[in-house]
Structure 1
């Protein structure tokens, strides 16, 4: 289990426990976190689960693969360093304390 903080674009925070083995997207979906739409259900076929990873966590999560990089081209205002698709981040105990911020909108 890891506590993950999801921060809406307006600054409202949601701190939830997410079971290891799920994705950060599934944690948002299962806890009704607004701002992560996840239209493709986690297949890395859209960009509607886009977030900005807190700078302190950028080097602590697995690197993006080519497919995620390609899908981020369709995200709203992607940041080359901080943007990630939450469907591609598997939760582990090491991610306890992870903070992600949602963009203004998902496209």
Structure 2
């Protein structure tokens, strides 16, 4: 099964199984990673904001205009910021690394 890693806000790294077809948000929830997702993946908020490791950013599908609009609302936006609900696990993303942004 594919895997991915979350760099948590406290600096720890959690490598988890990442089933194909699930979003990064769903994978985080499945493994108890502190990624909110207030709109439950309906692309109506920015609470599942993650920062994709630069080595992986180019491997993702580009963000849609709707995702970019929601990212404008995210705190601590970075060049490789994405919404976890919009990154869907594929074989090509086996090993994906994302970081949870600092809050406040």
Task: Tell me the CA shift for residue 91 of structure 1.
Answer: 0.5
Partner of 1:2: 2
Which stretches in structure 1 are left out of the alignment for 5+ residues? none
Whether the 8 Å contact between 1:49 and 1:86 is mirrored in structure 2 is yes
Partner of 2:67: 68
Partner of 1:94: 92
Distance 1:2 1:67 in 2: 28
Distance 1:44 1:12 in 2: 28
Report 1:1-107 matches (<5 A).
Answer: 1-34=1-34, 36-79=35-78, 81-105=79-103
Aligned structure 1 segments of 4 or more residues deviating by more than 2 angstroms: none
Alignment deviations for residues 36-65 of structure 1 (CA, whole Å, 9 cap, x no partner): 101110011110100110010011011100
TM-score (ref. length: structure 2): 0.95
Give secondary structure in 2 for the equivalent of 1:33.
coil
RMSD: 1.1
Distance 1:61 1:51 in 2: 13
TM-score (ref. length: structure 1): 0.92
Instruction: State the number of aligned residues.
Output: 104
